[in-house]
Structure 1
Amino acid sequence: MTSVVDTITKPIRGFVPTVTKQCWGFMIGSAFFALGSAPAFSTWLGSGGANLLFFVGAIFFTVAGFIQLFLSGAMTVDVDFAPGRMVRAEWLTAAAQSFGTIMFNMSTTAALHARTLRAEEKLVWNPDASGSVAFLISGFFAFVAHAHVAKAVDPTKVAWWSLVLNFVGCVAFAFSAVGAYIKPNGDVYDNTLANWGTFIGALCFLFASLIVLPWWSRNKSGQDIQSGTQNKAK
């Protein structure tokens, strides 16, 4: 018989941050970005439809980014050299990526309402470029964090390929931001580069999360196994 406590705690468990939810957040967000920038389909959608997909995708990105930051652990760790503590690469990775997702959220929200050249430059492109730089920083520190617990280069591990795909996605988003730069006459620098950069980057992020989705390595007890730790995912 189900107790009152169980009835109350089950919905609460749905809000508990897990690696599975983090992966799905990035995957769903990436899917929206990929659809919004897909060749031909984005043309059929028009700028309004594409911007709406980017807006929804950025929300999933932001939620996944917060989960990643929550799961990254303590910000600093004790070391045996001055000043005695240092910021953990895992935390820097998550913090930079989380900041980037917030910038994309700001950019995609502004894109739904921006009607002037100044608004598009200040409220749309600037946050987009900032988010892309933050993603690049995050991608770099992800390799540093991985090197602390495993080989710097290990093609035999799925986690390593996930890092590579993630970094390629970060680079693609950076190219997208360059292509989306707004020139003084109001035109974008290279619309093709902007769309393809977003599309390729989104696909990379999607597969980077898909291949490390804890579902693939779930053991018989129903626990998620990743990087030598077990995370309950329900």
Structure 2
Amino acid sequence: MPRAPGRRSPQWWTGVLFAVGSLCFLVAALASLWSSAPRSAIGVTFFAGSLCFTAAALLQHGTAIRDARGPLPPPATLRHPSLWPHRHVDVLATFVQLVGTVLFNVNTLLAMEDHLTARQADLRVWAPDAIGSVCFLIASQLAFCGTCRAWFAVRAHERDWWIAAVNLLGSIAFGIAAVASLVLPSGDAVSATLSNATTAAGAACFLVGALLLLPHEPRSQGQKVRVPRAERA
């Protein structure tokens, strides 16, 4: 079904929501590096960012499901036939990512609780964070393989490759942050500074990927859009 003139596409909303969520994580992580920053405001910012992530992931998963309902491409067009068709990889990747964002919702919400013991902090806060980070790593690797149609390839001339690559880097940074945030029996994290720094780095990568995801939309309703010759028939 064609979009009504002036109506934003699902891809545009996905990019905007991911960008807002990434910005929230970036600001909150940088603020966490200063001890004078209010802890409650940081917690709320992280939680708001995680909700944006979940909304974007849900929208992206729905789009992937709709795209996968079409006919499959001929096997001869696949560079690496042993991989699943690209759209089916997208469905799996976006679902795993959605699970990860929900776990981040739990993580950021419970992180605002005060007076948690080390064990409680690890079970309620660190465990959802760690599992969610693993989900992000799996989803990003699946998306990267689906974009490359191989386990690894460099396609610097393709915009989709850059989106998948920076998101994979962001997921790796989030994974490092999760390891560094493990609470020791003493009550201190393995490295709070490293955790906040890599969270900020990962959020910056996700922000770049989200901005690259934004499609080029017509500036006005009267602007003509060039239609490929194959679609005019």
Normalising by structure 1, we get a TM-score of 0.77
Equivalence for 1:90: 90
Partner in structure 2 of residue 73 of structure 1:
65
The aligned runs of 1:125-136 (5 Å cut-off) are 125-136=126-137
Residues 184, 92 of structure 1: alpha-carbon distance in 2 compared, 3 angstrom cutoff = same
1:83-133 Cα distance to aligned partner (Å, 9 max, x none): xx9x92111110111111100001001112253123311111100001100
Q: Distance in 2 between matches of 1:109 and 1:37?
A: 15
Q: CA deviation at 1:44?
A: 3.3
5+ residue gaps, structure 1, are 1-9, 230-234
Structure 1 residues 218, 160: closer, same or farther in 2, change over 3 A? farther
| Residues in 2 aligned to 1:42 and 1:94: alpha-carbon distance in whole angstroms | 34
In structure 1, the residue matched to 2:79 is none
Name the residue aligned to 1:211: 212
Equivalent pairs, count: 209
1:41 Cα deviation from its structure 2 partner: 6.4
- Match of 1:88, SS state, is helix
Question: What corresponds to 1:166 in structure 2?
Answer: 167
The residue number in structure 1 matching 2:99 is 99
Instruction: Kindly indicate whether the alpha-carbon contact (under 8 Å) linking 2:32 and 2:196 is maintained by their aligned counterparts in 1.
Output: no
Separation in 2, partners of 1:160, 1:216: 20
The answer to whether structure 1 residue 24 and structure 2 residue 35 are counterparts is: no
Q: Percent identity?
A: 29
Question: Which structure ranks higher in relative contact order (CA pairs < 8 Å, sequence separation ≥ 6)?
Answer: 2
In structure 2, relative to structure 1, the CA distance for the partners of 1:222 and 1:209 (3 Å cut) is farther
Partner of 1:63: 55
Which secondary structure state, in structure 2, belongs to the residue aligned with residue 205 of structure 1?
Answer: helix
- Give secondary structure in 2 for the equivalent of 1:214: coil
- How many Å separate the matches in 2 of 1:166 and 1:129? 17
Q: CA deviation at 1:221?
A: 4.4
The 3 A distance-change label for structure 1 pair 91 and 169 is same
The residue type paired with residue 27 of structure 1 is A
Q: CA deviation at 1:29?
A: 0.4
> Relative to structure 1, is the Cα distance of residues 131 and 46 closer, same or farther in structure 2, using a 3 angstrom cutoff?
same
How far the C-alpha of 1:17 sits from its partner, in A, is 7.1
Q: Would the aligned equivalents of 1:17 and 1:70 in 2 still touch at CA under 8 Å? A: no
Tell whether the 8 Å contact from 1:158 to 1:211 is kept in structure 2 after alignment: yes
Q: Partner of 1:26: helix, strand, or coil?
A: helix
Q: 1:232 is matched with which residue? A: none
**What is the match of residue 201 of structure 1?**
202
Q: TM-score, with normalisation over the residues of structure 2? A: 0.78
Aligned partner of 2:27 among 35, 46, 56: 35
Q: Give the AA of the match of 1:65.
A: A
* Matched residue, 1:182: 183
- Whether the 8 Å contact between 1:146 and 1:152 is mirrored in structure 2 is no
Q: Which residue of 2 aligns with 1:111?
A: 111
Do 1:26 and 1:209's aligned partners in 2 also have CA atoms closer than 8 Å? yes
